[in-house]
Structure 1
């Protein structure tokens, strides 16, 4: 069993991953204030990890968003609206010293990368060798995987593999597709994306237009890249993927306009061909990043264990 931690924009989750079957056991959760002090953020992470009661000397996997120096374990958060108190902080050292049972090491991995590696191993992208993953939440995370390797350059791949570094209509993509972008475009104070989704389902035209424009734009920007990358699957995760009934239609339309038309049905999902174009929501929900974080530990130790690993 490999202990892992996943840090999101407003939460932290820890669990034990069994790579023999891809299961996650003994999950623990804590809320996080992304605008809080460094000691408060790191303290919440330590308390969440301590609840698993793992032996001292154990190597942990940890998935968290960027910008972050994953090799050195140092926060680089600046101008992203979250965790800015961790800028320049040696997160690895703080966690090693702060956890009740001192770990032997921590292997860090980008949360979007961890998400897609988990989905490729035992989730929505099983059987696919060229896959793109998108996470939709406080920002837009992305991962391009070919034959099990994460790519940061190449045909169709954006700079550093990051769609958030691309632009649309002269501005950053996240000004069109993100939680803050949707709320700003809707224009009513005191509501969140969840409220906009509920209103769209209730038939409110403004709410539906805001969502359709955002996800249509995302599809139009992604489509040409997926076609050039020759992706056979697009897997969408993050908090907004929970409203797949609202995301999928506009995203499908945008992708088609961009030159990558998803299959009407995913009957070819587990037996993809060069012509397969499956668009799927995440199958593992929050477990995907935990599974991917365990993969980081496996890769660091030079071992491969379990199905898909």
Structure 2
């Protein structure tokens, strides 16, 4: 029996975004979508209760609904077990079988619940209808609370797992994630800020400009090193830090030029819908009767 309705979700360190999609003769139609804030430092019960509260009304006791959720790594995507412990989020879910937990709470079969890598889902969505269209060797980077990465080589997608790559005096995520900005802001402001948005709004413009210039330099070196190894054609950026791309886009181009690189890059215009489209693409491979979005 073909799945007529698909519930796609993107779960991050601060949110859960969902979209209910229905199959029709003309393709796929988004019936409804929403975004809900999540406290990823909460207890297991608090997080799972909130996720279930968001998903349950759209499941609506439909045993045939297909659910796909994009989750950050490290994660056992086949079995649905969360292994996140060093990324400052979802610590209470470490070792938890989310496939079984959510299936029980939503009263559906665990066989109808799938998990995909969030960075891979992002790049799949961009390849389908975004900024990765027409490119063969693409790196997708989600710049947010963590550093998500994925590759597209030809028609194959894979998790890049570059967050833990050795970089400068630590790992890549230390210099390219939100934490780097917060550390910079604390050193200047004297107290911890809540995120990049507050940093931009709170600190003097000269300080903000200086911070983003340094960030662009770090990002350029990271891209240059990645390109040396993977021979990329293009890079697509997503994630919340990209909302401030106007503060580092031109500087990033200049820094890449200084390194002798002409690597092209774009910032996603789909926002969180990239991952949701990517989830649908992944589910299409799981269900042969499901038409492409």
TM-score by length of 2: 0.88
Q: RMSD of the alignment, in Å?
A: 2.2
Match of 1:90 in 2: 97
Match of 2:133 in 1: 126
Match of 1:45 in 2: 51
- Asked if the contact 2:120–2:158 (Cα under 8 Å) also holds between the matched residues in 1, the reply is no
Distance 2:230 2:28 in 1: 28
Partner residue of 1:10 out of 7, 11, 14:
14
Query: What per-residue deviation string (whole Å, max 9, x for no partner) do you get for residues 82-137 of structure 1?
Result: 00100010000000001155665211111111001001001111122221111011
- Asked if the contact 1:2–1:17 (Cα under 8 Å) also holds between the matched residues in 2, the reply is yes
1:144 correspondence with 2:151? yes
Q: Number of residues paired by the alignment?
A: 282
Match of 1:157 in 2: none
- Asked if the contact 1:77–1:87 (Cα under 8 Å) also holds between the matched residues in 2, the reply is yes
Structure 2, unmatched stretches of 5+, are none
Which secondary structure state, in structure 1, belongs to the residue aligned with residue 21 of structure 2?
strand
Distance 1:224 1:22 in 2: 39
**1:17-166 pair list within 5 angstroms:** 17=21, 24-54=30-60, 55-99=62-106, 104-151=111-158, 161-166=160-165
Distance 1:304 1:57 in 2: 13
* Change in 2 beyond 3 A, CA 1:151/1:103: closer
Structure 1, unmatched stretches of 5+, are 153-160, 263-276
Which secondary structure state, in structure 2, belongs to the residue aligned with residue 79 of structure 1?
coil
- Asked if the contact 1:236–1:280 (Cα under 8 Å) also holds between the matched residues in 2, the reply is yes
- Asked if the contact 1:28–1:51 (Cα under 8 Å) also holds between the matched residues in 2, the reply is no
Query: What per-residue deviation string (whole Å, max 9, x for no partner) do you get for residues 254-284 of structure 1?
Result: 333444324xxxxxxxxxxxxxx3x111121
Distance 1:234 1:69 in 2: 26
Distance 2:39 2:114 in 1: 23
Higher alpha-carbon deviation: 22-31 or 291-300? 22-31
* Change in 2 beyond 3 A, CA 1:304/1:105: closer
